[in-house]
Structure 1
Amino acid sequence: MSSIGMRRTTLATVGLAVVGTMVLTGCKNGNEDPAPAQPTASATGSPSAPASPSAAGSEAPAGAPGMAKSGQTFKIGESAQIPFEYTKDTKGEIALTVIAIEQGNPADLDPLKLGDKVNGKVPYYIRYTIKNIGTTDLSYSSVGHIKGLLGDGTEAQGLSIIGKFEKCPHESLPKGFINGQTQTGCAVALAPSAQTKVAAAEYWGNPYNISTNSKGLVWK
């Protein structure tokens, strides 16, 4: 998306991970105002629902030999080759790798001004890399649909952020994102308390989601 003339405001929303998985926008453009405005935020949502169980060995998406299978589980640091679709005209293949799930500090959320919505909650930062392994230029696409899972397999609450959040930076893919190019990304998941951890991450973008009668890819 274009960000020419965009006011650099940070907006955060707490919600269910299935609808509130972090989406950060902030396309690179030389005409951007480099000085962010004071962050503002609104908060909605309720405790997260159980995630769909994940199991290795499910059928691979149709027409995608060599791609990760629906429901497949990976270790942190392992890559999954997946078909990627940003728009109907922007499709390709990427290697997605969750490289870390890092516990943050509740005070990290203070600039987002979410108040009682995040009281007692602990942010976790799901860090991942995206590598273009296809033949399509994926410039300015955004790779999201990554959520956290708690130790019992239920979804962690997600955090939607528009603007910059230094603790967990995420930007659209840059211009010239062709085969072999790599970029890092980050998603925020919220544990309900200090006694509960975000233990895994799940990618639920097409074709690995319930709308396609499929299951997500899990890293733990």
Structure 2
Amino acid sequence: MRSRVLAIVGVSAAVLALAGCGSEMTGTPSAASGAPAPSQSSSAPDTSGSAPSSSNDSSGGAANTAAGGFTQQGTKLKLGEKAIVPFKSEGKTGAIGVTVKSIDKGVEADLAPLDLGDKAKGMTPYYVRVTVSNESGTDFSYTSLGLMNALLPDGSEAQGVSVIGTFDKCDSGDAGKAFTTKGATYDSCVLAVAQAGTTVTGASYNEGEYTDQAPGTDYGSKPITWQS
């Protein structure tokens, strides 16, 4: 039996969760993609301590910090640099790290399994590769990152594609069962498309749900951004 993938093309946000908004178009694949299971590269190299670090780390972590050592809203980072942001799940609060590792350009044919029809014509897919780390040692197993967008060179949001199911070119992933200790990580991906003549060069973290944990972390109004 062929696996089914639901793709949603929105005018702005690409969401690392099973949601989409704005003007949307849905579809199912015309052929099975033979995709592997979601990536869950969680590990636990460090179990000491529970508070997020406010200093720079080996990946070039953010220097601008809000209360509690979290990255200040509106901070601008380079690819490979880590933001430390508040997080909570099922009543448990803590911190996670968000590192945009790379932005990879695909080809229009990559989109064929998503059966997007005319929406995909002339569009180039871009894959924003993200590593998420557990910074507080809180049990955040099976959680998803939250709202991120791909960005165009002028800072505006690229057209996002949310995939419900498995798309082997860009697996949104989740934390898995081992994301319970400080230092655990998993990889995720934001899928966006751009028309000919423009490119995706950056990403933003726009989650504003956790502002009650720390002042200065309203990323919904002032996102953290990464640019290549």
Return closer, same or farther for 1:89/1:72 CA change in 2, 3 Å cut-off.
Answer: same
Q: Distance in 2 between matches of 1:8 and 1:23?
A: 19
Q: CA deviation at 1:153?
A: 1.4
Return closer, same or farther for 1:139/1:57 CA change in 2, 3 Å cut-off.
Answer: closer
Return closer, same or farther for 1:196/1:132 CA change in 2, 3 Å cut-off.
Answer: same
TM-score by length of structure 2 reads: 0.71
Q: CA deviation at 1:88?
A: 4.9
What is residue 187 of structure 1 aligned with on the other side?
A: 190
Q: CA deviation at 1:24?
A: 5.6
Q: Distance in 2 between matches of 1:22 and 1:66?
A: 24
**Equivalent pair of 1:149/1:198 in contact (CA under 8 Å):** yes
Matching of residue 17 in structure 1 with residue 12 in structure 2: yes
**Equivalent pair of 2:100/2:226 in contact (CA under 8 Å):** yes
User: Aligned to 2:69, what secondary structure does the other structure show?
Assistant: coil
Return closer, same or farther for 1:70/1:11 CA change in 2, 3 Å cut-off.
Answer: same
What is residue 36 of structure 2 aligned with on the other side?
A: none
Q: Distance in 1 between matches of 2:15 and 2:135?
A: 25
Amino acid at match of 2:177: K
Matching of residue 69 in structure 1 with residue 69 in structure 2: no
User: Aligned to 1:179, what secondary structure does the other structure show?
Assistant: coil
Amino acid at match of 1:216: P
**Equivalent pair of 2:12/2:149 in contact (CA under 8 Å):** yes
TM-score by length of structure 1 reads: 0.73
In structure 2, which of residues 71, 77, 82 is the aligned counterpart of residue 79 of structure 1?
Answer: 82
Q: CA deviation at 1:66?
A: 1.4
Q: CA deviation at 1:58?
A: 8.3
**Equivalent pair of 1:24/1:164 in contact (CA under 8 Å):** no
What is residue 116 of structure 1 aligned with on the other side?
A: 118
What is residue 154 of structure 1 aligned with on the other side?
A: 156
Q: Cα deviations across residues 131-173 of structure 1 (Å, max 9, x unaligned)?
A: 1011311100011311111111111000010111101112121
What is residue 97 of structure 1 aligned with on the other side?
A: 99
- Percent identical across equivalent pairs? 42
Q: Distance in 2 between matches of 1:99 and 1:59?
A: 21
Q: Distance in 2 between matches of 1:148 and 1:16?
A: 11
Q: Cα deviations across residues 104-147 of structure 1 (Å, max 9, x unaligned)?
A: 11110011000111211111000010110113111000113111
What is residue 226 of structure 2 aligned with on the other side?
A: 219
Q: Which runs of 5+ in 2 are unaligned?
A: 20-30, 34-61, 212-217
**Equivalent pair of 1:157/1:191 in contact (CA under 8 Å):** yes
**Equivalent pair of 2:149/2:190 in contact (CA under 8 Å):** yes
Return closer, same or farther for 1:147/1:215 CA change in 2, 3 Å cut-off.
Answer: same
**Equivalent pair of 1:129/1:185 in contact (CA under 8 Å):** yes
Amino acid at match of 1:187: V
Q: Cα deviations across residues 197-219 of structure 1 (Å, max 9, x unaligned)?
A: 11110011124444xxx311001
Give me the CA root mean square deviation.
2.4
